[in-house]
Structure 1
Amino acid sequence: MSGLDLQLAWIRRAGGDLRVFTNALANQLETALPNLTTVVRRKNGLFSKTTHVRSIEIRTDPWRFHLEYDGSRLTASRAQAVHGVTLRTGALPLDEWLRHLQTEVSRLSGELQGADQALHDFLLR
């Protein structure tokens, strides 16, 4: 079962509780990709000490993935930016957004493994 399949199964299992899903996804991304992930949280009420995730943004080069939770629904989008200029932005269904994000994270992982191997080879010469 792929990571995407697990995420989608988790959404179904959570019974459509988008707040729980969004909070869990934000925590996972902040832990796994701390330098690439920005999470905006809001208080649950005026005097509440607890918060919920309002939006998640993951910045890879050249993609920016944005997920926004408005209290009743999730809005997912992906933008392509080059040198700080956004070339295109598009809304995506959540499952497609997750699939593109997973592909991009896999690409980054492969690049990092390649860089790690190159450094390893260099140091052992």
Structure 2
Amino acid sequence: MHDELSEPLQVEVLAASLRANSTDLKAFLEALAVKLEGSLPNQTAVIRHSSLFSREHPVREILITLGDNQYRIAKERQGPLMTTRAKVVRGIVLKTDQIPMEQWIEELAAGLAEEAMRSTQARVALERFLL
């Protein structure tokens, strides 16, 4: 994030970047997985469908851990994307809430912005995320 941007503006820029490809769900998940794995590999886990004879390995779910929150977005079999937020303390999930996609994007963006404010390494990683 650039120092001249206020925190609310940083959050909105991140949210806009997250929303960019959300109309094509397959492309959205692939792009989000690539960006998050590349930017924050220690906080991101990507689970892909694997089939013995398939060349494609599409994203099945993405888990992003930021502080005490874990954000999950997953493609269910023939259904829509499911977005959840879990409260995690010392590796134990205490509570999981299914939340609407728009709220998930806003909360994830706010969490990413907070992470960038705390860590120079996260700030550099998130600048790459926005490219």
Aligned length: 110
Which has the bigger relative contact order, CA under 8 A and spacing at least 6?
2
Secondary structure (helix, strand or coil) at the match of 1:10 reads coil
The TM-score normalised by the length of structure 2 is 0.74
Cα gap change, 1:33/1:9 in structure 2, threshold over 3 Å: closer, same or farther? closer
Report how far residue 87 of structure 1 moved: 2.4
Q: Judge conservation of contact 2:29–2:59 (CA < 8 Å) in 1.
A: yes
Q: Which residue of 2 aligns with 1:122?
A: none
Distance across 2 between alignment mates of 1:9 and 1:35: 24
User: Residue in 1 aligned with 2:9?
Assistant: none
Gaps of 5+ in 1: 117-125
Q: 1:2 aligns with which of 10, 13, 16?
A: 13
Q: Which residue of 2 aligns with 1:55?
A: 61
What TM-score, normalized by structure 1, do the two folds share? 0.78
1:3 partner letter: L
In 1, the alpha carbon distance for the partners of 2:82 and 2:37 equals 19
Deviates further, 98-107 or 66-75: 66-75
Local SS of the residue matching 1:105: helix
Instruction: Output the CA distance in 2 between the equivalents of 1:60 and 1:21.
Output: 21
Whether contact under 8 Å (1:18, 1:72) holds in the other structure is no
**Residue 110 of structure 2 corresponds to residue 100 of structure 1:** no
Identity of aligned residues (%): 29
Gaps of 5+ in 2: 1-11, 124-131
Moved over 6 A (4+): none
Deviation at 1:60, TM superposition (A): 1.7
Work out whether 1:87 is the aligned partner of 2:78.
no
What root-mean-square deviation, in Å, do the aligned CA atoms of Structure 1 and Structure 2 show?
2.2
- Label 1:46 to 1:10 Cα distance change in 2 as closer, same or farther (>3 A): same
Corresponding letter in the other structure for 2:37: E
**2:33 counterpart of 1:26:** yes
Counterpart contact for 2:37–2:45, Cα < 8 Å: yes
Answering whether residue 31 of structure 2 is matched by residue 40 of structure 1, we say no
Give the 3-state SS of the residue equivalent to 2:79 in structure 1: coil
Which amino acid is 1:61 matched to? G
Q: CA deviation at 1:5?
A: 2.5
